[in-house]
């Protein structure tokens, strides 16, 4: 995964292992790292060689071991600032994105459209294996699969023109969700040009703009919009935790 100038996962992992050796004065063995995050040492060896792909759980476990942010593995932030680590499930984040990214008055992006978009992105990459199946998307959205592979995280983020750190960085996701909600509301009010000009404003300012415009242009919808603004995103019931 080298989009947006980011390094391959294996390169980041090897860099972190080298940093650990520099700090502790001794090499960090695959056996020690594997034992620390409860996986096999052969799996760690394959990850470091780029022969295997990590899952979301593995990324989060490795990030905890190295005391970095999970988003760092995909070109995002390194610090584990309070409030930046996701507290909800992957499928809750994914469903929120599907919901917020849909055009006003229209349904969510269909499975066929997602599959086709990923396939087209694969053609751009020159990778015929860059595909995702409808059943994989269904399982991820329903919570049946709570531990996606990194490639699927990247694919789904790209469908919505986002980086994969959207799914790993709670602060980033909150900012993006706020902007999506603002733009959709402005479009529904027929003032989408204002939304473009206001994209750099803080969430509180955007919210106040929305309330003012709704009161002036659609007073009958004031209570409905206020209720929408009060909830950060759509959530779904958490599934039982599955095996890594």
Note the pLDDT tens digit of each residue in 148-157. Answer: 999 999 999 9
**Quick check: do 3-74 and 90-168 share a fold?**
yes
Q: State mean pLDDT over 8-27.
A: 90
Q: What is the band of 228 on the pLDDT scale with cuts at 50, 70, 90?
A: low
| DSSP state letter for 239 | P
Note the pLDDT tens digit of each residue in 104-114. Answer: 778 899 999 99
User: If one looks up domain 90-168 in CATH, what number appears?
Assistant: 1.10.260.40
Cα distance between residue 40 and residue 168, in whole Å: 24
Cα distance between residue 167 and residue 216, in whole Å: 36
- This prediction has a pTM of 0.77
* Residue 235, pLDDT score: 38
Domain ranges, ordered by start, for the chain? 3-74, 90-168, 171-230
User: If one looks up domain 3-74 in CATH, what number appears?
Assistant: 1.10.260.40
Structure-token match 């706020």, residue found: 178
Pure H helices in 145-218: 150-159, 170-188, 192-197, 203-217
Cα distance between residue 201 and residue 20, in whole Å: 40
């Amino acid at each position: 995964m080298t989009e947006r100038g980011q390094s391959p996962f294996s390169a980041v992992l090897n860099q972190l292992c080298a940093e650990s050796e520099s700090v502790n004065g001794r090499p960090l063995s695959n056996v020690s790292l594997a034992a620390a995050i409860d996986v096999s040492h052969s799996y760690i060896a394959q990850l470091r060689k780029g022969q295997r792909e990590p899952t979301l759980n593995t990324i989060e476990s490795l990030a905890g071991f190295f005391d970095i942010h999970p988003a760092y593995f995909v070109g995002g932030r390194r610090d584990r600032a309070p409030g930046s680590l996701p507290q909800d499930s992957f499928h809750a984040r994914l469903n929120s994105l599907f919901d917020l990214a849909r055009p006003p008055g229209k349904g969510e992006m269909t499975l066929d459209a997602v599959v086709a978009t990923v396939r087209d992105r694969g053609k751009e990459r020159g990778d015929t294996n860059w595909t995702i199946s409808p059943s994989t998307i269904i399982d991820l959205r329903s919570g049946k699969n709570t531990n996606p592979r990194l490639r699927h995280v990247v694919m789904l983020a790209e469908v919505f023109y986002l980086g994969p750190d959207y799914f790993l960085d709670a602060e980033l996701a909150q900012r993006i969700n706020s902007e999506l909600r603002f733009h959709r509301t402005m479009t529904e009010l027929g003032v989408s040009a204002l939304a473009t000009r206001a994209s750099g404003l803080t969430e509180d300012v955007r919210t106040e703009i929305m309330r003012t415009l709704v009161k002036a242009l659609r007073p009958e919808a004031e209570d409905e919009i206020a209720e929408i603004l009060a909830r950060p995103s759509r959530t779904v019931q958490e599934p039982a935790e599955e095996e890594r």
